[in-house]
Amino acid sequence: MLREFNTLTPEEQQLMFDAIPLITILVGAADNVLDEVELSEAQRLADIRSYNTRGRLNAYYEMIDEGLSERIQQLYNGMQNGIEQREKYIVGELSKLNQILPKLREPYGYLYYHNFRTFARHIAECHGGFLRFITIGPKEAKVVDLPMITPIPKPPEDEYPNLI
């Protein structure tokens, strides 16, 4: 159990652990195909973030790192009702984070919000585009900034220096 999740219900904790798989599916399958490149990038990024020596979310990424690809596939296979229904479901689930993130003590709400957005951007950019230009397609661009999640303001720098 993560200390920052002490104030959350079991359902809220599960949504926090499923946020990265849901974000991967939302962004990676925005073109209606969740391919091996996106799956392996999600796994690689979670692995890197679990070892980040500066990060405060190492324990979170350690917990989701093992079995992440399988969890993504499990969720994705349960959503094969078409892109519109899948996107609507995921947006609804991720919108629930608007009640969860503010419950976390400072600076964790902000850190999770920021990490979820940067994770989404990495997944969207993993195909590379042409000469590293146009790396995010129009379908990914609609969801990559996770507009369904209300921004959490960054805590004061003097209280939490070097957060990101």
pTM of this prediction?
Answer: 0.93
More confident residue, 14 or 35: 14
133 forms beta bridges with 130
Rounded to whole angstroms, how far apart are CA atoms 39 and 135?
17
Q: How confident is the model at residue 16 (pLDDT cuts 50, 70, 90)?
A: very high
Residue 137, Cβ density class (10 Å: 0-12 exposed, 13-18 middle, ≥19 buried): middle
First to last CA, the chain: 23
What digits encode the pLDDT tens for the residues 91-127? 999 999 999 999 999 999 999 999 999 999 999 988 6
SS3 track for 32-43:
CCCCHHHHHHHH
